[in-house]
Amino acid sequence: MNLEELLKIESKLSAQKKLILNLIVTANRVNEELAEILKPFDISSQQFNVLRILRGQKGKPANLSTIQERMVNKMSNTTRLVDKLIDKKLCERIVCPANRRKVEITISENGLKLLSEIDPLVESFENSYAGKLSEEELNNLNIKLNELRS
């Protein structure tokens, strides 16, 4: 369905306006669907994102600024986000011995286990969602999106 229909917009929008709206609306839907997938596991998409970043460290601990830099949506309060994960025993935090201002955050066994349960569900969503386009179209789309962010 095109944007004008979807949002019941009567006037004709410029391609530029449409792009901005399209990006926001499309990403919102994706976020909603991801949240739905994660809900049974009692974890928000932000928390899921942090867990995946921690796993990507491959055992090496991460500090808060590293996590923040890699998060898809930079949010201000990474401390409390990590607090939640610790409450759920999905990760651990110790004060960095070399520099006591820093903290070292690592994913726990529980966290890894949870991710391994969620992974296939998310992947299957990604594939079915993106499956509406061919591999070539996807590559092209990714390139254009990269250009937009430049």
Partner DNA sequence: GAGATTCATTTGTCTAAACAACATTTGTAT
Partner DNA sequence: ATACAAATGTTGTTTAGACAAATGAATCTC
List contacts with a second copy (CB under 8 A). Answer: 1-3, 6-11, 14-31, 34, 56, 69-70, 72-74, 123, 126-127, 129-133, 135, 137-139, 141-142, 144-150
Binding site for DNA (CB under 7 A): 35, 39, 44, 46, 63-65, 75-82, 84, 93, 96, 99-103
Question: Considering beta carbons, is residue 1 or 98 the nearer one to a second copy?
Answer: 1
Other C-beta atoms closer than 10 Å to the C-beta of 91 total 23
CB of 25 vs DNA, minimal distance in Å: 14
Q: Which amino acid is at 140?
A: N
Residue 120: contacted member of DNA, a second copy, none (CB under 5 to 8 Å, by partner type): none
CB of 16 vs DNA, minimal distance in Å: 24
First to last CA, the chain: 28
Residue 129: contacted member of a second copy, DNA, none (CB under 5 to 8 Å, by partner type): a second copy
Nearest-angstrom CA–CA distance, 41 and 36: 10
Cα→Cα distances 18→1, 3, 4, 126, 133, Å: 13, 7, 9, 24, 20
Question: Considering beta carbons, is residue 95 or 145 the nearer one to a second copy?
Answer: 145
Nearest-angstrom CA–CA distance, 45 and 31: 8
